[in-house]
Structure formats: structure tokens, C-alpha cells
Chain A
Amino acid sequence: MAKTSTRVSFGLYALELKQDSSPVTATPLQPFSKVQDLRTDNASSRPYASFEPDFWLLDGGYKFLPADPVSVHVGLMSLEMSDAAGVFADPPVLTVAFQQVHTADGLTLRFSNYTGDYASSVAVAYYDAAEALIREDTYAVGSTEFSTGQEVANIKKIVITFQTTNRPYRYLRLAGIDYGELISFEGTSIKAAAVIEETDPLSAELRVNALDLTIFSQDAQFSIINPEGHYAALQERQPLAVYEVVDNQSVYIGTFYLDEWENQSDTVSLFHAVDLVGVLDRQPYRGGIWLGAGIALEDLLEVVLGSIYVPYELDAALVGTVITGWLPAGSVREALQQLAFAVGASVSCARSGSIKIYKTKVAADEPDEVTITRSQMGQGSPLALRSQVTGVEVTAHNYVAGTEDVELYDDTLAAGTHEIVFSEPAHSLSATGATISESGANYAVLEVAAPGAVVLSGKRYIDTTSVTRITTADLTAGVRPNVLKITDAYLVSNTNVAAVAGRVYAYFQQRYRQRMRLFAPAAEVGQVVVVDTLYSKQIRGLIEKMSIDLAGGFVAEVEVVGVQNE
């Protein structure tokens, strides 16, 4: 029986320090390394394969480096490798300068979480505005996340020297730097920890993974009514990194961001946190319209996610997919859902610090990645039959620029800047009573010099719709027709509607839902598995949901949707 425990790291970081920081280094770096990733926080958690001794673990997670370094975000990666003792002959030095003078509760360094590589000896020197040394300390680092936990005031510059690596012959891999304290809870401090991981293969909705955590702490900093306490810092988008230690091997479960906090008693606190997809639900996106030649998926994702420094991984099979149609104004999560549904992609943050966008898998047609035998399951593994979908109707939207002038807005506005958001896309905008400082297909920003009537005019895009149907032939008598209708996928046009309809229909023909309980599962959400089921049969399906009790022994309630394995 494997021994398990949970570890959760809270980041109490001062975001204003990061925004004011300018990390630079004179140390030679790998040509694809960008020190600015440390400021924008978009270094990927996934490693690229290299021939450093005993580095390239054959778990399929070590990827090949793209030829174009622009798309690579690894943070700081040194050109020099440490020696057989893990010592750098010319230690890499990172200098972080600030525009303003700051006080930091500590300095947190995040190294290569996935590979377990870190700098084992780090010297940190703080300087004030007069370039005078405030203090200098050398730390022995023991994990991929390290916090000095030392408050320093009047900082204008920090110089960090990475002297050794924890393993021999390693490049320095620094994925993130934060200015604040990192607090870790593990063992008996964690009363309960449960994670729900979900994915919708079709991306008909973008599901949010969630963490529910109960901790025991006598630290007054965890009082919800302490204005100087941690709660004040944790209100913002602060990461909670979650790990499960199985037989002394640390398994990275994911990074979550605090959503709600409740103090049940003086010592017990409850946290509800969501993953990056949940964070994107609060991030506005103005949308747009792409007609004619459209836009490549990777270019649009760079606009939607890259511009707000959200790390993501795009399946190579989806690169080059052309998008045409309309994205309404809304949240980034909604935009990503529309995109993923139209191109046939699934989205998940499970076991990753970034958003993974990969080609939709219809389990019946995919090779299995993991086999789950009856001996691996707990007692009671019910098999259910989902209701039969006898057909699908998908509406294609085909937009052309209209020529008729319409009034988009007519009202009195106060002096100042106002953003008008449209319910339908428009073009050729003009305004009276205000000037348009910025506009798009879904919005116009108006500058009103003096209060008064403002009229915003423009031309609509005309949406011509057509419906594509796929229905089950030769329905047996007594089967009630159940046709699924999809009408509001605005990036589905005549060019991709047949593929979308086929995909949706194929997915819903997978009627078996297998539930099971697994202990310390190797399988993950989004993987195709073959599962032993009742009557000595097997189900080939995709794991759509895992409810994992981390503190209770890494026990997972798993849901698989698929077909009978032939």
C-alpha cells in the first residue's frame, strides 16, 4: 500500500513589486530563454527534452523544442551547465531592478517543477536606492519552490546568484520569481483537500477545476478579520500549488487561484480555489469578427491568451486551423469555449500550470493510454447508460458586411470616456456628440467632451444561417427522437459545420458512463482508458471527471464515458 500525503503552497505575493520589476541578466542564456518571462509569469511548466544526464524522463511529458524561439517560454535558462558536483564555474546572476523603493515580505523562487530541478545554493543581495548593500544571504534550497521568508525594506535592486544545482550537469531553470512569502502546509495541517478535475471533450462548455482545502493553523495571520493578515494578500489572483506525495515521489496536481475563504473557527480555515480557466471567467474579452481568409488558431490564441500572459499549450495537430466568424464580447473563458468547440479541441488545466488545448478525442476511435483492471478499482463500480441522442442539428453562421446604416446607440452621456458594447457585430462606425477613440466589431470607446446627446451609427454584419443535421438511420420502434440543437456557436460556418456536427454526433453515440474508485491513479482527466466492467466486458472511454480526495489517501472517484471495447 502506497503512503500518501498532501502539500499545498500559498503564495502571498506583492503583485505591485512584480509589475515594477525589471529582471535582467548579463549571464549568457539559451537562445530561446527570455528573462522577461519572469515578469510576465508565462513560463511553461512543461519541460523541453535535452540530453542532460538523467533528465529526459520517458513519460511523454518532455517535448521537442520548436525551431522558432518566439513561441518558447521557459523563463531563465542558463547557457552554462553545472559540473559533476552541480557547481557552476561561472554562476548565473539575475539582477532585478525596481523603479520605486519597496518592502518585501520575502523572495520566492520557482524552479522546474515538472523535472524536479532547482538551484540548491542561492545567494541573494538587496540594495537600496543609493546602491548600498542592505543585506546578503546565502540559502540552501531544498525544493523547486523556495522562499527566503525574510522581510527586507527599502529595496531598489536585488541580485540573485545561483551557485549550484541539486543534480549534476544541469542548466539553471528558473521559471518564476515572486516578491513575497511562500507558505507551505502539509501533513496534519491539512485537514481536508479535495480536487475536482473535469473536461468536456467537445468543449460545449469549458469546465473549471476546483480545489477545496481545509487547513488547521494557529497563526493569527490566517484570521479573516486580521487586516494585516494573509487574507488581504490572498484576495487577489494568488496561486496555490498543490502536490500529492506518493511514496516520497511528489506528484504535481495543479495550480489553483483563491476564490473564497471562510474561517470555520479560530484555527480552521476553508479555501475554495479555481484553476486558470476559472480565472479567465473574470477576464473580459472584447471579441471580434474574422471574415474571408480568417485567422489562424495560433494567432488568435496569442491575441486572446498571450496578450494577458496566460500560459497555454496548443496541440500541434491544431496549428494552422483557420477560424472564421464572430466572437461576441464576453469573458476570455467564453471566447476560448467558442474557439475550442469550433476547431474540435478540448481544454484542461489538470496536472498543469498552463491551459492545455488539444484535439478532441472520441474514445471509440482513439488508442488507449492506460488500462484499468478490476483489481485496481474499489468496491462498487456502476455502469450507466446515457440517454440516446438520435440526431444533432448544428447551425452555421455566415457573416457578410451589411450596407444599411443603423443607429447602435442613442442616449445622453456625461463627459468622459464611455465604452459601448454591441449585442451584434457592426462596422463603419461614426458618432455625433462624441469622438470614437477606439473601436472593434463589438465595441466602441467614446470620448465625450461635454455632456449631451450621443448618437453612434454604423452598419451591421448580416448573419445568414444554415442548419446541418445528422440523424440516426433505422431507429427502432419505441425509441423517442432526441435531437440535440446547437445554435449559438458563432465560429461554426459552412466550412466547418459538417465536421462539427459529425464530431458532436459521434461523441453522443458513446453511451456508457463507467464510474469507479481508484487509489493513487496513474490515469488523468482527458486520457483514453480501457476499463474492466461488468459481465467480463471492457469499456473504452475518456476520463471526463475525477474527484480526488488528496488528504484521504489520494482516492479518486472517476467517470469514464465511452463504448464497449471490441
Chain B
Amino acid sequence: MSRWVTPITDRTLADIQNRTVKAFLNVSDWVRIHGNTQQVQALIRILSGFEVSITSLSTPTVTHFPTAGEINSMIADIDRLREAACLPPALGVVTLKHDYQPGLGAAAPDYEDVNAWEQDLLLIRALFARAAESLIYCGAAGAGQPRFWQNRWRRPAYIEPDAGAIRTPRTGSAVSGSGLTRQNGWRKYA
């Protein structure tokens, strides 16, 4: 799996009119978008355990004529990640069109569409790590289970280490119900 590459989300009409480097969709853009999709898929799997299926797409070459089906698959992958991330639209993630058709009379993606694909990936990656803190890990939930019972699997929020404090507890992942003595096992002293 390739590394995360900073997406391009600021293409403008001026880019198109002036034919800047951002105005075109090249193989490198495809590789970045598909690679970032795999990155976000892995992030969601690690943080939540959700396995979002994404299409296995081969990397095109410069001789390739992309089909509507290939592009639709790539966008649909991003859209499934958006759904799995459960991020509210108010945060800026948008539903993506992935029903492009072939032919001269059919609609085709423009720079705003491609901005939206990459913006969704960027937002999911940035926000899902924080959103995951609010997830309740409950194994198999049972009807009538009290809230505190489900909290056994709650994962505590990650706290940035305090640079100044010396006796800051560092607990890795805290164990529900464990006493202070046990937590002190990870306490770090200067």
C-alpha cells in the first residue's frame, strides 16, 4: 500500500482556463487518489475495526482510456468510506456522484467533482481519528445491557503527553475497573 500523499483540493476555474498542472487528471492523480483511498480504508479498519471493501483497481498507464466503470468504482470506494466514517455533512464531507455513463452526451467529471473526491478523503482522514474516540466498543451488544456494562469496551480518548509535567500517568490503554496502583505501572518518572 502506498503512503498518504497530500491531496489536491483547490483546483479552480482559473486553473482550467490557464491549463495549470492542477487542471489535468493524470496517472499520478489516479495513483494518489486510489492510494489515499487505501490509506483511509486502513485507518478506518485500525481505529474502528470496520472492514470497508474497496475495489482492486490496477494502476493505469498513459496509454489507457479510462472507462466510466473504472472511475465509478474509484469514486464509489471513497463514498463507501464516507458512509463508514459516519461523519456529519456539516463537517464538509459530501455525497459523491458515481454513476457516470460513457458517451459524448453523458456527464463527465470536472475539477469540482475531483476536488470533492479528494476533499472527502482528506476530511475522513483528518476527522475520523477524533471521531473514533467516541465509538463505543461493545463486542456483541445485548438487548437490555446497561450502559456501564458496555463501557467495559470503551476506549479512552488519547491524551497528548504533557510536556511540562513529570508525574503524568501514561497508561497506554487503561483497563476498565483497574485501580490506581495498577495504572501506576505505566507511570513515568523523570
Q: A57 is contacted by which of B23, B67, B100, B104 (Cβ under 8 Å)? A: B23
Say whether A63 contacts B104, CB under 8 Å. yes
Which of B24, B68, B100 is within 8 Å of A56, CB to CB?
B24
Is A478 interfacial (CB 8 A cutoff)? no
Contact, CB under 8 Å: A81 / B25: no
Knowing A55-B24, A58-B23, A58-B114, the reply to whether A315 touches B105 (Cβ < 8 A) is yes
Q: Determine the residue in chain A with the shortest Cβ distance to B66.
A: A49
The contact of B26 among A44, A54, A71, A358, by CB within 8 Å, is: A54
Q: In the complex the two chains form, what is the Cα distance from A314 to B107 in whole Å? A: 11
The yes or no answer to A61 lying at the interface (CB within 8 A) is yes
With a cutoff of 8 Å between Cβ atoms, the chain B residues found around residue A46 in the complex are: 104
Residue-wise interface mask of B (50-77) relative to A, using a CB-CB cutoff of 8 A (1 in contact, 0 not): 0000000000111111111001000000
**CB of A551 closer than 8 Å to a CB of B:** no
Q: How far is the CA of A56 from the CA of B114 in the complex (A)?
A: 12
**B111 on the interface (CB 8 Å rule)?**
yes
Could you tell me which residues of chain A, from 1 to 60, have a CB within 8 Å of some CB in chain B?
44, 46, 48-60
Whole-angstrom distance between the alpha carbons of A55 and B66 in the complex? 12
Contact at B66–A67, with CB atoms within 8 Å? no
**Given the interface contacts A58-B23, A66-B102, does A51 sit within 8 Å of B109 by beta carbon?**
no
In the docked arrangement, what's the CA distance between A63 and B100, Å? Answer: 9
CB nearest to B11 among chain A residues? A58
Tell me the B87-141 residues at the A interface (CB within 8 Å). 100-111, 113-114
A130 within 8 A of B: no
> A111 near B: Cβ within 8 Å?
no
Kindly identify which residue among A65, A71, A169 contacts B62, using a CB–CB cutoff of 8 Å.
A169
Instruction: Given A51-B60, A316-B102, decide whether A65 and B24 contact each other with a Cβ distance below 8 A.
Output: no
Interface stretch among B12-20, B38-46, B78-86, B175-183? Answer: B12-20
* A52 surroundings in chain B (CB, below 8 A): 62-63
Q: Which residues of A contact B60 (CB under 8 A)?
A: 51
**A48 near B24 (CB under 8 angstroms)?**
no
Is B30 close to A, CB under 8 A?
yes
Q: In chain A, what residue has the closest Cβ to B70?
A: A64
The minimal Cβ–Cβ distance linking A343 to chain B, given in whole angstroms, is: 13
How close is B70's CB to chain A, nearest CB, in angstroms? 9
Q: Judge whether A313 and B104 touch: CB under 8 Å.
A: yes
Please, how many angstroms separate the alpha-carbon atoms of A57 and B109 in the complex?
Answer: 10
Given known contacts A62-B108, A71-B103, A315-B106, is B16 in contact with A50 (CB within 8 Å)? no
Asked, given contacts A53-B62, A57-B19, whether A64 binds B105 with beta carbons under 8 Å apart, the answer is: no
User: Is residue A249 contacting chain B, with contact meaning CB distance below 8 A?
Assistant: yes
| Chain A residues within 8 Å of B104, by CB | 44, 46, 63, 313-314, 354
A59 CA / B113 CA spacing, docked (Å): 10
Distance in Å: Cβ of B185 to nearest Cβ of chain A = 56
A319 at the binding interface (Cβ < 8 Å): yes
Q: Which of A64-88 contact B (CB under 8 A)?
A: 64-67, 71, 81
In whole angstroms, what is the CA distance A49 to B66 when docked? 7
Q: Give the complex CA separation of A314 and B106 in angstroms.
A: 8
- The answer to whether B100 touches A51, judged by C-beta atoms less than 8 angstroms apart, is no
Q: How far, in whole Å, are A44 and B11 apart by their CA atoms in the complex? A: 28
A64 in contact with B25 (CB, 8 Å): no
**Contact residues in A for B106 (Cβ distance below 8 Å):** 63-64, 315-317
CA distance A54 to B107 in the complex (A): 20
Q: Select A64's contact among B26, B63, B103, B114, beta carbons within 8 Å.
A: B103
Number of interface residues of A (CB under 8 A): 38
Whether B110 lies near A358 (C-beta < 8 A) is no
Residue of A nearest to B60 (CB): A51
Closest Cβ–Cβ distance, residue B72 to chain A (whole Å): 9
**Contact status of A50 and B66, CB under 8 A, knowing A57-B16, A62-B108:** yes
Chain A residues positioned under 8 Å from B102 (CB to CB): 63-67, 316
Shortest beta-carbon distance from B129 to chain A in Å: 30
**Shortest CB distance A537–B (Å):** 24
Residues in A neighbouring B111, C-beta threshold 8 A: 58-59
Cβ of A554 to closest chain B Cβ, rounded Å: 13
- Shortest C-beta distance, A234 to chain B (Å), equals 29
A484 sits at the interface (CB 8 A) = no
Establish whether residues A314 and B62, one from each chain, have CB atoms under 8 Å apart when the complex forms.
Answer: no
Q: Tell me which of A53, A56, A316 contacts B105 (CB under 8 A).
A: A316
Q: Which residue of B lies closest to A67 (CB)?
A: B102
**Residue B27 lies at the interface, judged by CB distance under 8 Å to chain A:** yes
- How far does the alpha carbon of A391 sit from the alpha carbon of B69 in the complex, in Å? 43
Quick one: closest A residue to B26, CB to CB? Answer: A53
The answer to whether A318 touches B65 (Cβ under 8 A) is no
How far does the Cβ of A559 sit from chain B's closest Cβ, in whole Å? 23
Q: A316 vs B100: C-alpha distance in the bound complex, in angstroms?
A: 9
Task: Report Cα–Cα, A65/B103, bound state, in Å.
Answer: 6
Chain A contacts for B68, CB-based, 8 A: 64
- Given the complex of chains A and B, what is the CA–CA distance between A66 and B68 in angstroms? 8
Q: Which chain A residues border B109 with CB–CB below 8 Å? A: 58, 60
Q: Let me know if A51 and B64 touch, CB within 8 A.
A: yes
Given A59-B16, A60-B107, A63-B104: A51 and B23 interface contact (C-beta under 8 Å): no
A249 to B16, CA, bound (A): 11
Interface assignment of A356: CB less than 8 Å from any CB of chain B: yes
Residue of B18, B19, B21, B67 near A65 (CB, 8 A) is B67
* CB-CB nearest in chain B for A314: B105
- Assembly CA distance A293 to B21 (angstroms): 51
Report B's interface with A, CB cutoff 8 A: 11, 13, 16-19, 21, 23-27, 30, 60-68, 71, 100-111, 113-114
Can you spell out 19 A-B residue pairs with CB atoms less than 8 angstroms apart? A46-B104, A48-B65, A51-B61, A54-B19, A57-B16, A58-B110, A59-B23, A59-B111, A61-B108, A64-B68, A64-B102, A65-B65, A71-B103, A169-B62, A249-B17, A313-B103, A317-B101, A318-B105, A358-B105
- Seed contacts A58-B23, A58-B110, A64-B66; 9 additional CB < 8 Å A-B pairs: A57-B24, A58-B24, A58-B113, A60-B109, A63-B102, A64-B108, A249-B17, A317-B106, A319-B105
